[in-house]
């Protein structure tokens, strides 16, 4: 049984989590969520909605997604006026907190139901920029077709990476016919862009795995729930995600229920043996505790005893640095930042592993800074303003 002191401590933690969320996730991305995070942090009734769920559900993004999800069919509510994705055009002002409080009070039961039954699952397809970069680099080491296994694939939207179009400034890779999805990002840091948009290797086997796969075809609510994690201001992102969801419904790739910690080696063993296997993870490590991360890496090493396996990651650098990956860039101040991701590869075979850091990126790849040289340690990145050393730790998703 939980004591009053434990509950108070848990509530204080949640209060801090909303402020941390505002500082590391919403600032610069969503003015509304930045303001409303502070509203929740100072309102015990709003915090209570999450306090009534198990500790694993108490995430700021879950509350905001639940609100957003309900608002979709209640656009007449005054809170919706602040959501451009729901057709609103009211600038954020000091009435927004009261609108949130009113909405949550009026829909407390529906919110509680969502908070108890739905999980925080996002699928950020802009991370396909990192996937492209990694695949190009792996192809430079290993010629021939590759197999792709995304672990923590959510709805598997990243598996369509070679259907999407890509835009970086005035450079454009056209989407495949019939795929009305073009992803945009910005290059920072002055590194080369050719591998970001270059030729891709043939990927002749692909599969996504997730502890809780998002079944877009089987569950009609799955698409709208994914969309609920889009920030209120991101009208274009919502349209892009919706188009990717529709594409995936029409042409689904294989998605299986599996645990990174237990099933990775088995999934690799199922791939035709002539194919080197690229295991892609994007924002997975923050879901695993230290022991689970070690067990996931051990699965890669086990599989690599009998075939070539590459781990391609876009993850918080501090978490990668605490695996067996050793690259100069992860030995310094990058270990302690929570608002930037590291993109890299770890090529593994029976003889060991060879690791490279390929880029730093915003966690949602709103920008990407490719390595300037092959053994770049990114010591220039602080001076270029890509991150602040000794910022808060962490790393994760919305």
Ligand X SMILES: C[S@@+](CC[C@H](N)C(=O)[O-])C[C@H]1O[C@@H](n2cnc3c(N)ncnc32)[C@H](O)[C@@H]1O
Does position 356 interact with ligand X (CB under 6 A)? The reply is: no
What gap in Å lies between CA 231 and CA 30, rounded to an integer? 6
Give the three-class secondary structure for 171.
Answer: strand
Minimum separation from the CB atom of position 55 to ligand X (A): 16
> Which of 10, 108, 203, 211 is the binder for ligand X (CB under 6 A)?
211
Task: Report d(CA 41, CA 298) in Å as an integer.
Answer: 39
Q: Which helix (H) or strand (E) holds 32?
A: helix 31-41
**Residue 122 makes contact with ligand X by CB under 6 A:** yes
Give the separation between CA 343 and CA 335, rounded to whole angstroms: 13
- Residue from 121, 240, 248, 346 binding ligand X (CB under 6 A): 121
Q: Is residue 133 within 8 Å of residue 196, measured between CB atoms?
A: yes
Q: CA torsion 374→375→378→384, rounded to 10°? A: -40
CB of 396 to ligand X, least distance (A): 7
143-162 residues in contact with ligand X (CB under 6 A) are 151-154, 158
Angle 34-167-176 from CA coordinates, rounded to 5°: 120
Stretch that binds ligand X, among 66-74, 116-124, 136-144, 333-341 (CB under 6 A): 116-124
Residue 170 CB, shortest distance to ligand X, in Å, is: 27
- In the complex with ligand X, which residue's Cβ is closer, 100 or 300? 300
Q: Does 127 bind ligand X (CB under 6 A)?
A: yes
CA 140 to chain CA centroid, Å, is 26
Minimum distance from residue 121 beta carbon to ligand X (Å): 5
Of the pair 52, 259, the CB lying nearest ligand X is at 259
Question: Which span sits near ligand X by CB under 6 A: 6-14, 71-79, 115-123, 320-328?
Answer: 115-123
For the chain, list the strands marked E by DSSP.
146-151, 165-168, 171-173, 182-187, 203-210, 254-257, 277-282, 309-315, 341-349, 352-361, 367-370
Q: Name which of 79 and 133 has its Cβ closer to ligand X.
A: 133
Q: Which residue is nearest to ligand X (CB)?
A: 152
* Among positions 212, 219, 251, 274, the unique one binding ligand X when judged by CB under 6 A: 212
Phi/psi of residue 278, each to 5°? -100, 115
Closest CA to 259 of 327, 227, 212: 212
Nearer to ligand X, 43 or 210 (CB): 210
Residues 227-266 that bind ligand X (CB under 6 A): 259-261
Q: Smallest gap, in angstroms, from Cβ of residue 380 to ligand X?
A: 27
Interface residues with ligand X (CB under 6 A)? 121-124, 127, 151-154, 158, 210-212, 259-261, 282-284, 287-288, 397
């Amino acid at each position: 049984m939980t004591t009053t002191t434990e509950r108070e401590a848990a509530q204080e933690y949640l209060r801090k989590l909303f402020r941390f969320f505002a500082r590391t996730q919403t600032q610069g991305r969503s003015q509304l969520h930045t303001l409303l995070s502070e509203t929740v942090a100072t309102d015990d009734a709003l915090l209570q909605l999450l306090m009534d769920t198990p500790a694993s559900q108490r995430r700021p993004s879950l509350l905001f997604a639940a609100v957003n999800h309900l608002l979709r069919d209640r656009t007449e509510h005054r809170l919706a006026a602040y959501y451009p994705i729901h057709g609103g055009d009211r600038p954020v002002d000091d009435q927004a907190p009261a609108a949130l409080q009113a909405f949550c009070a009026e829909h407390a039961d529906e919110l509680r139901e969502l908070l108890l039954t739905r999980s925080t699952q996002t699928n950020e397809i802009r991370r396909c920029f990192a996937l492209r970069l990694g695949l190009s680099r792996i192809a430079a080491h290993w010629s021939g077709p590759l197999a792709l296994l995304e672990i923590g694939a959510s709805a598997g939207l990243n598996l369509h990476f070679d259907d999407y179009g890509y835009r970086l400034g005035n450079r454009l890779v056209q989407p495949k016919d019939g795929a009305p999805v073009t992803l945009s990002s910005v290059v920072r840091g002055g590194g080369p862009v050719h591998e970001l948009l270059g030729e891709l290797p043939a990927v002749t086997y692909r599969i996504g795995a997730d502890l809780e796969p998002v079944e877009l075809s089987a569950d009609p609510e799955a698409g709208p729930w994914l969309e609920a994690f889009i920030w209120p201001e991101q009208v274009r992102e919502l349209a892009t995600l919706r188009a990717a969801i529709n594409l995936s419904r029409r042409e689904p790739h294989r998605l299986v229920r599996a645990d990174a910690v237990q099933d990775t080696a088995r999934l690799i063993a199922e791939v035709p043996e002539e194919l080197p296997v690229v295991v892609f993870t994007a924002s997975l490590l923050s879901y695993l505790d230290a022991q689970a991360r070690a067990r996931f890496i051990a699965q890669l090493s086990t599989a690599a005893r009998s075939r070539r396996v590459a781990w391609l990651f876009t993850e918080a650098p501090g978490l990668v640095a605490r695996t067996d990956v050793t690259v100069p860039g992860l030995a310094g101040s990058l270990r302690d930042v929570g608002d930037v991701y590291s993109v890299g590869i770890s090529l593994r075979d029976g003889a060991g592993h060879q690791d490279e850091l390929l880029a730093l990126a915003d966690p949602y790849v709103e920008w990407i800074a490719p390595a300037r040289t092959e053994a770049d340690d990114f010591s220039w990145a602080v001076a270029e303003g890509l991150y602040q050393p000794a910022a808060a730790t962490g790393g994760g998703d919305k």
